[in-house]
Amino acid sequence: MKLVREWPFRQRSFWLIGPPLVTFLFFFVFPVGALLFLSFNRPNQASLRPVTDFNLGNYNHFFTEELFTDALVRTYWISLEVTIVSLLIGYPLGYLMARTEDRRQSNFLMILVLTPLQVDTVIRAYGMMIILGDVGLINSALLAARLIPTPLPLMFNEFGVIVTLLHIGVPIMVLSLMGAMQNIDPELEEAARSLGANRLITFLRVTWPLSMPGVLAGSLLVFVIAASSYTVPRIMGGGKVVTLSTLMYNKIQSSAEWQMGATVGVILLMTSLIIVYFYQRSTPHPLGEVT
């Protein structure tokens, strides 16, 4: 009996995968591909159309110019700091929310966690300016109490950028950790305690390994979001904290250097993918640590 091969568009799976696939190709693959081709073109402010005259001049300029290399290091250093602090803050909160049996308390904590995500990044950044500014709430209170002679530099530097990014990173980290911790059977911790393990050993040998899926997912999300953020470094950095995203904007919008701006965007994307790949490869399987 001869089998008749159905065309892909006649299969049900095609109609489920087709629309998101088309959207992904149209809004991500094609624009990123255009930037990739454009990054290999010679600088030409009069043209934005990618041509086949490929060269590595833009990439050579990127890695030999101090402005670009400093922005690269600063971008991922800030992202790493935001990820670590978000994990330190979000882990206890996620554990508390996962272990709270009272539904009203759990809902109240969830509202507190989700509230920052309901506010636009621009509004959140300007709100932080009111708090961290030279005449903001913190400096005004410290000056009124005569604890400091001059206002503290809490804004227009990396500190202000990191603090503002934590408003995004902490809720995402908590939500990722909470989902993983809710799947941890409390009886496993009780069994470890009954066998003589103290709270620290129980945490290190049971709770932490089993929560690694949430730690991994939350860390990756926070890191990538912090690395690609433009609004926060632009507002809270005051033009003094140059990251890859702000540098890309300056090259395209201010200088009309589309080829160099495309190069910065491609390097931001590729370095993020490389970091995520090696982070996943270097992270041990969480269940393999539980003994």
Cα gap 258→51, rounded to integer Å = 13
Q: How would you class 244 by CB atoms within 10 Å of its CB: exposed for 0-12, middle for 13-18, buried for 19 or more?
A: buried
- At a CB cut-off of 8 Å and minimum separation 6, what does 144 contact? none
Cα gap 150→140, rounded to integer Å = 10
| The pLDDT of residue 271 is above 80 | yes
Mean pLDDT in residue range 38-44: 82
- Can you give the residue ranges of every domain in the chain? 56-289
The pTM (predicted TM-score) of the whole model is: 0.84
- What's the CA angle centered on 121, arms 116 and 123, to 5 degrees? 85
Cα gap 283→291, rounded to integer Å = 17
The pLDDT value given to residue 225: 92
- At a CB cut-off of 8 Å and minimum separation 6, what does 83 contact? 169, 219, 222, 223, 226
User: Using the 8-state DSSP alphabet, how is residue 26 labeled?
Assistant: I
Cα gap 204→192, rounded to integer Å = 11
Instruction: Decide if 165 contacts 232 (C-beta within 8 A).
Output: yes
Mean pLDDT in residue range 184-201: 84
pLDDT tens per residue, range 101-148: 788 887 888 888 888 888 888 888 898 999 998 888 999 999 999 888
Please tell me the CATH superfamily of domain 56-289, with its number.
MetI-like (1.10.3720.10)
The pLDDT value given to residue 46: 59
Mean pLDDT in residue range 246-264: 88
Instruction: Decide if 128 contacts 161 (C-beta within 8 A).
Output: no
Would you place residue 234 in the very low, low, confident or very high pLDDT band (cuts 50, 70, 90)?
very high
